[in-house]
Amino acid sequence: MEKKTAAYICSGCGIGDAVNIDELVSLTTGDLKVPICRTHANLCSQEGAALIKQDMDKEGANALIIAACSPRVMYDVFNFENCIVDRVNLREQVAWSQPAGDENTQMMAADYLRMSAAKVAAMELPVPYKPEKEISKTLLVVGGGIAGMTSAVEASKAGYSVVLVEKEAELGGFQKKVGQIATFPYKGVVKNPLNELIKEVTSSPKIKVYTGARVEKTVGGPGVFEVSIKQNGTTAQENIGAIVLAAGWQPYDPTKLDKKLGFGASPNVITNAMFEETYLKGKVTRPSDGQAVSKVAFLQCAGSRDPQYLPYCSTVCCTTSLKQSLVIKAENPKSDVYVVFKEMRTPGQAEDLYRKAQEEGVIFIRCQSPEVKVDGGKVTVEALDELLGETVSLEGMDLVVLATGMVPVTALGMDISKEAKPQEEKKEDKKEEELLVPPDIIRRSEILNLEYRQGPELPALKYDFPDSHFICFPYETRRTGIYAAGCSHRPMGIGSTKEDGAGAAMKAIQCIELTSRGASVHPRAGDLTFPEFAMQRCTQCKRCTVECPFGAINEDEKANPLPQPTRCRRCGVCMGACPERIISFKNYSVPMIGNMIKAIEVPAEEDEKPRIVVLACENDAYPALDMAGLRRMNYAPWYRVIPLRCLGSMNLVWIADSLSKGIDGILLLGCKHGDDYQCHFIKGSELSSIRLSKVSETLNRLALESDRVRFETVSIIDYEKLPALLNEFAEKLQEIGPNPFKGW
């Protein structure tokens, strides 16, 4: 594309008061040689946008530098099709965070224009990726329980075809074992309406159901998944656009529980799941002799919320025990029913169920650690009642029901992360050992059988649930186009499971539609670029294939990367990882950022005006800087901020570029990593901090102090702390003294 660059400088929102616009225009048309440069008092107005449009139509302007507000606002106003656009943040990060009319403020604005001109010169117009195969708009739902069936029904109602695979011979999942459910808003305990949902699925012409079947193999990526489904000894092939994983859960194994809860010591000590199965056969009876029950104790949190067993709350066990206690009371109103609990957790309208149980005479005992004592046929529950301050002995219990929690099916199976590659390759492959990324935990649970370089199943997160980001991206897993629903996502009751099934279906549909337009899914939704590899220079080092957080790059037998663009989230982690610097996007590349750094004007040492480059993650750190500006919080004027798609896309060469140019310091601002991480690309921030630990090598080579480079994690709500952090680092650099490369 032959570029014709045009620059537009807005003087509104205080920009014109803070900086000398005429000087910026002179710089743009002079040193920067931009042929068109216009100013406007309100560029985001209809008139301002029309000015730009007019230049596009009449002057052929197709590479636009828009120096105004942050790129995070007015996105639609400055979104011009078939045009390269770069936004220069003169408002939040100059006019609103620096003193007006100051020489340093002017220098900052001028540098941002220089950096933008360098960026635009390196940018190309994205060409959307089009796979050779036709994009499929069919959803695959794995799991025929409530979540899976709801996903299938909702997707079909939205007009999409669905293939549903259930491993059991019948649809229904765990709910097949449940006779009655409580209705909310609470109207009583009613017969489980599961069959109605099953009927909806089986009667829909848009849903193809495979029961007694399993996914044998999944290859490809969003839009072009090829899924082999094995059923009755034969294998069917389906072309799939996106996948909803609704594989469900299993009750926590009661044999692993603390012996003092009595499981296994008497047949009359059962679990909540066993209670349901017993009830399905008719009346609830005493397992030891089939007699009617009149004394029943429910013990809550059996193994749950205990780091030794199941560390989390399964959210439904309290409600289930309340429902089961009402079933007993309905059968025998004179029965003695006790619920021994640490805390009753009855969120939302389940509180009505709690009230109903109290009204029906169920007795609640608050106790942290009850004990079940079995003496011959006699079962006694001993509980230190926190209210009475004394131990209560519930003797002669006909039935003790342990309220055990839920374990996602994805948690079952062995950790095979280390086996994901053949053993012999691992031994000989020295390069692999040097790779930076900590491996994902992959379990052999045989649910999706992905043909991915990183292993056959979804990586497990905390407690083995496979969703990728518990704060911002519910449903999303670490494999693009695969969304977790229901109890594969987190423990939940029936109402939430239905909502979750519908939500995951909507995410899968979004993925299909974005993929069919060649665009990325969340968080860079709509991005039309994708990584391109200059393969002739590839050394088969495997960094890109291993470090991609989404398993988007497979490998051939010679270790050549095989990018799968529809799986790609456009984070740029591979670009940051590649030592040969041969991975780039049309509008984001190692040379492009390098040129932006080189465009910064570095004053001579005697001017005592240090320069510090901030490589800021665009997801949290950059918005936090904007927020600081929005609150008119000032910070040292020496900073020049470059937004990165993810700090994981940082290539170490930028640090060398900066220091060899005489930049005094480099600040990397990324997201928090660790268990409760917030990194939008999962590992990007962690990877960059690991890479940075290797930077001392570079610094030593350049005979520079490693204190010149600092890594900090910030979330968007840390904006209040940012000015102090920036000022402190600037002071530290002044203590260290100027970069000795200055002026070279």
Under the criterion CB under 6 A, does residue 550 sit at the interface with ligand SF4?
A: yes
In whole angstroms, how close is the CB of 431 to ligand SF4 at the nearest point?
9
Binds ligand SF4 (CB under 6 A): choice among 140, 544, 636, 669: 544
Under the criterion CB under 6 A, does residue 490 sit at the interface with ligand SF4?
A: no
**Pairwise CA distance, residues 44 & 208, whole Å:** 50
Under the criterion CB under 6 A, does residue 525 sit at the interface with ligand SF4?
A: no
Binding span for ligand SF4 by CB under 6 A among 137-145, 318-326, 444-452, 547-555: 547-555
Under the criterion CB under 6 A, does residue 617 sit at the interface with ligand SF4?
A: no
In whole angstroms, how close is the CB of 577 to ligand SF4 at the nearest point?
5
In whole angstroms, how close is the CB of 694 to ligand SF4 at the nearest point?
15
In whole angstroms, how close is the CB of 561 to ligand SF4 at the nearest point?
5
Residue closer to ligand SF4 (CB basis): 553 or 599: 553
> How far from 47 is each of 39, 82, 462, 622, CA to CA, in Å?
12, 21, 52, 29
In whole angstroms, how close is the CB of 469 to ligand SF4 at the nearest point?
14
Binds ligand SF4 (CB under 6 A): choice among 583, 616, 692, 733: 583
Binds ligand SF4 (CB under 6 A): choice among 87, 443, 542, 691: 542
Residue closer to ligand SF4 (CB basis): 404 or 477: 477
Hey, which residues does 574 pair with through a beta bridge? none
Under the criterion CB under 6 A, does residue 582 sit at the interface with ligand SF4?
A: yes
Q: 677-709 burial, b if ≥16 CB within 10 A, otherwise e?
A: bbbbbbbbbbbbbbbbeebeebbeebebbeebb
How big, in percent rounded to 5, are the helix, strand and coil portions of the chain?
35, 25, 45
Please name which of 443, 532, 518, 545 lies closest in space to residue 488, comparing C-alpha atoms. 443
Binding span for ligand SF4 by CB under 6 A among 8-16, 54-62, 359-367, 561-569: 561-569
Under the criterion CB under 6 A, does residue 220 sit at the interface with ligand SF4?
A: no
Binds ligand SF4 (CB under 6 A): choice among 541, 667, 668, 687: 541
Q: Are the beta carbons of 476 and 468 closer than 8 angstroms?
A: yes
Locate tokens 């099709």: which residue? Answer: 81
CB-side neighbour CA atoms (13 Å) of 393 = 7
Residue closer to ligand SF4 (CB basis): 385 or 580: 580
**Pairwise CA distance, residues 522 & 502, whole Å:** 18
Locate tokens 């008119």: which residue? Answer: 632
Residue closer to ligand SF4 (CB basis): 539 or 693: 539
**Pairwise CA distance, residues 319 & 343, whole Å:** 12
In whole angstroms, how close is the CB of 650 to ligand SF4 at the nearest point?
13
Residue closer to ligand SF4 (CB basis): 251 or 481: 481
Residue closer to ligand SF4 (CB basis): 218 or 566: 566
Take residue 52 and report the two structure tokens written for it. 């730009």
Binds ligand SF4 (CB under 6 A): choice among 574, 612, 625, 687: 574
Under the criterion CB under 6 A, does residue 693 sit at the interface with ligand SF4?
A: no
CB-side neighbour CA atoms (13 Å) of 317 = 31
Contacts of 274 (CB under 8 A, 6+ apart): none
Strands (E), 275-403: 295-299, 336-341, 363-366, 371-375, 378-385, 390-394, 399-402
Residue closer to ligand SF4 (CB basis): 171 or 544: 544
Residue ranges that bind ligand SF4, judged by CB under 6 A: 531, 533, 538-544, 548, 550, 552-553, 561, 563, 568-574, 577-578, 580, 582-583
